[in-house]
Copies of this chain bind each other. A is one copy, B any other.
């Protein structure tokens, strides 16, 4: 039931013709009673910011952190569309605000798909009233389906808190095509919290989940994570809320990594013993984003020399003589040189769909991890063109 699992939310999905294929491409998540509730958002840091991101940010600022719902489309990112792009994003909010009996600024908006092509806003406007009519407490899966692009599976999560629930849906396939690279997630909860507490919980949850997921080091123009709180479950402990929100984010991020269209493996890169957590993350990200490391994982080659070379060029503290590398917990390099190990055991681990690479630096207490994928022929195929 995903995004409608927490009390007080309804959702719907529809096909309005943004996608030429006729597949579902329009989704709405809203409060069941049409009431504005506390809302928080985390948006892309890309300075090439898409129109819906600009509009959602400005709506959250105007309402002081409240929203009635979120409208989302797939098939067109409404990015690099200039001033008319922002007008279209506003009209997209208005298209559902009217039938919902609220103002456009009470609606947040997300888009995902091709960049640089005007949004066919009339199709979305025409579909608005029917979409609102279709809102239902069991509409979560329909909404989750309508935001898919290269995803092969819809992504939903439900986490039980102490007396409350967190639900969510997301899109973003592991091997993201350039034309649909966006990661979108909408989370809901019935916890009773103010907007500031909600924003803190969301930021913390995103940092350890979506922001620890790196497919190819690219940052989309449209990346957005939103969280709405209906309050119907009453007051909750803030730490407990953070835990539940983080768990839901982590679940959705894991589903993205596992939806490995174009990839054969999910690879967890863990760095320990760094001078600082920042250094650990920098090194983990450098390794995860390395085309050479990614190809070697695809080829099942435990080539630790390349891992150390990336660690050494990450811009973090590094001492080769103290560095060790393990695959699946089996040390293959210790103190910067080859270490005798059970080659059959490493070979078996390299053949598995989940790979664990651990780098130990011996410099301090900093640790960090990044989830990523291998680089494959199918990735190249997917990203050769937009057609």
| Contact assessment for A218 and B380 in the assembled complex, using a CB-CB cutoff below 8 Å | no
| Contact assessment for A312 and B46 in the assembled complex, using a CB-CB cutoff below 8 Å | yes
| Contact assessment for B305 and A115 in the assembled complex, using a CB-CB cutoff below 8 Å | yes
| A208 at the B interface (CB under 8 A) | no
| A356 at the B interface (CB under 8 A) | no
Contacts of A234 in B (CB 8 A): none
* 8 Å CB contact of A47 from B116, B320, B338: B320
Q: A179-B303, A296-B385, A306-B115 are in contact. Are A47 and B218 (CB under 8 A)?
A: no
With both chains docked as a complex, state the minimum distance between the C-beta of A42 and any C-beta of chain B, in angstroms.
15
| Contact assessment for B296 and A383 in the assembled complex, using a CB-CB cutoff below 8 Å | yes
* 8 Å CB contact of A291 from B77, B291, B320, B377: B291
* 8 Å CB contact of A82 from B313, B335, B379, B384: B335
Count the copies: 2
Within 8 A of B (CB), among A258-309: 289-293, 295-296, 298-301, 303-306, 308-309
| Contact assessment for B221 and A312 in the assembled complex, using a CB-CB cutoff below 8 Å | yes
Contacts of A379 in B (CB 8 A): 291, 295, 380
| Contact assessment for B305 and A116 in the assembled complex, using a CB-CB cutoff below 8 Å | yes
| A327 at the B interface (CB under 8 A) | no
| A23 at the B interface (CB under 8 A) | no
| Contact assessment for B305 and A80 in the assembled complex, using a CB-CB cutoff below 8 Å | yes
| A179 CA / B303 CA spacing, docked (Å) | 9
With both chains docked as a complex, state the minimum distance between the C-beta of A223 and any C-beta of chain B, in angstroms.
10
| Contact assessment for A320 and B80 in the assembled complex, using a CB-CB cutoff below 8 Å | yes
Residue of B nearest to A335 (CB): B82
| A386 CA / B295 CA spacing, docked (Å) | 11
| Contact assessment for A338 and B116 in the assembled complex, using a CB-CB cutoff below 8 Å | yes
* 8 Å CB contact of A290 from B218, B321, B387: B218
| A85 CA / B335 CA spacing, docked (Å) | 13
Contacts of A116 in B (CB 8 A): 304-305, 333, 337-338
With both chains docked as a complex, state the minimum distance between the C-beta of A175 and any C-beta of chain B, in angstroms.
10
| Contact assessment for A49 and B299 in the assembled complex, using a CB-CB cutoff below 8 Å | no
Residue of B nearest to A306 (CB): B178
Residue of B nearest to A220 (CB): B309
| Contact assessment for A216 and B292 in the assembled complex, using a CB-CB cutoff below 8 Å | yes
| Contact assessment for B386 and A303 in the assembled complex, using a CB-CB cutoff below 8 Å | yes
| Contact assessment for B383 and A313 in the assembled complex, using a CB-CB cutoff below 8 Å | no
With both chains docked as a complex, state the minimum distance between the C-beta of A113 and any C-beta of chain B, in angstroms.
10
Q: List 18 A-B contacts (CB under 8 A).
A: A45-B313, A47-B312, A49-B320, A80-B337, A80-B338, A81-B337, A82-B337, A85-B337, A115-B303, A178-B293, A178-B306, A217-B289, A219-B309, A221-B309, A292-B383, A298-B380, A299-B384, A303-B386
4 A-B pairs closest in CB distance: A115-B305, A48-B312, A299-B384, A295-B383
Q: A77-B305, A81-B337, A295-B380 are in contact. List 5 more A-B contacts (CB 8 A).
A: A47-B319, A80-B305, A116-B338, A218-B310, A375-B380
